[in-house]
Chains A and B, each alone.
Chain A
Amino acid sequence: NAGVTQTPKFRVLKTGQSMTLLCAQDMNHEYMYWYRQDPGMGLRLIHYSVGEGTTAKGEVPDGYNVSRLKKQNFLLGLESAAPSQTSVYFCASNAVGLAGGHSSYEQYFGPGTRLTVT
C-alpha cells in the first residue's frame, strides 16, 4: 500500500495563477481532508469530504475549492493564488469505524506539498 500520496511535492506560483493539488489514497477510506500548515499555527482544516461526491468547508476555506469525484482522490484547487496561500499543504484520510459515521481511528497523512506564491 502506498497510503496517502500527494502531487506535486513542491510548486512555485505567481500571484493570480491557478493550480490543483492531487491527493490519492489506496486504503478505501471514506473521509478525506485538506489542511494547511503555517509556522506557529499548527494544522488548519481547509475542506473535507465524507464520501465520494461530497465536500464541506473547514476552518479556512476561502480561496480554495475541492472536488471528490472518485473515492480515492481528493483535489484541492486554487483559482487565483495569493501570497497568503504560501504554505505547506497536507492531505489526510480516515476510516469510518463507528456507528453514525464517526471514527476512532487516526488520520493518515500524505507527505505534504510546499507551495510558494510570489
Chain B
Amino acid sequence: AQKVTQAQTEISVVEKEDVTLDCVYETRDTTYYLFWYKQPPSGELVFLIRRNSFDEQNEISGRYSWNFQKSTSSFNFTITASQVVDSAVYFCALTDLTNTGNQFYFGTGTSLTVIP
C-alpha cells in the first residue's frame, strides 16, 4: 500500500534560519514519483517539484533544495534563509504505477511559520 508520512505537524522558525521539512513514503512499486506542494494562507495549492524514483540527484532551486534518499524512503525539503513569505502548509505526495487513475497519496502536511 502507498503511504506518505509528514511527522512534523507544525514548525516555527525565525526569519533567516534554515528549516527542513521531512517526508517519508511507502510504496511497493519500483517506479514512482514524488512531489511537493505549497499551500500559502491564501489557500491555493502550488506545485514545487517532481522527482522520479530513478533520479536520486539532489535538486536546488534558489533557496529551496530537495534531498531524495531511496535507502531511507525519504524526500526531504530544505528552505535556506527562510523568509516570512515561506509561511505556508507544505504537502508531500506520491504516485506510482500500481494504482489506477494516477492517484496521488498526500501526507497530512507540515505547517511552517516564519517569524519576522
Residues of A at the B interface (CB closer than 8 Å) are: 31, 33, 40-45, 48-50, 56, 58, 88, 90, 94, 96, 98, 100-109, 111-112
Chain B, Cβ-Cβ closest to A38: B108
Q: Mark B43-58, 1 if CB is under 8 A from A, else 0.
A: 1110100101000000
Residues of B at the A interface (CB closer than 8 Å) are: 9, 33, 35, 37, 43-45, 47, 50, 52, 91, 95, 97, 100-104, 106-109
A111–B43 CA distance with the chains assembled, in angstroms: 7
Q: Which of A49, A100, A104, A109 contacts B33 (CB 8 A)?
A: A104
Are B9 and A109 in contact (CB-based, < 8 A)?
Answer: no
Chain B, Cβ-Cβ closest to A99: B97
Do A48 and B103 contact each other (CB < 8 Å), given the known contacts A40-B108, A100-B97, A104-B33?
A: yes
A-B pairs with beta carbons under 8 A, tally: 56
Are A43 and B44 in contact (CB-based, < 8 A)?
Answer: no
- Tell me which residues across on chain B come within 8 A of A41, comparing CB atoms: 108
- Tell me which residues across on chain A come within 8 A of B102, comparing CB atoms: 31, 50, 94, 96, 101-103
Q: Which of A43, A90, A94 has the most CB of B within 10 A?
A: A43
Do A56 and B108 contact each other (CB < 8 Å), given the known contacts A104-B50, A104-B52, A106-B47?
A: no
Are B91 and A43 in contact (CB-based, < 8 A)?
Answer: yes
Chain B, Cβ-Cβ closest to A51: B101
Q: Which of B43, B45, B91, B101 contacts A50 (CB 8 A)?
A: B101
A35–B45 CA distance with the chains assembled, in angstroms: 12
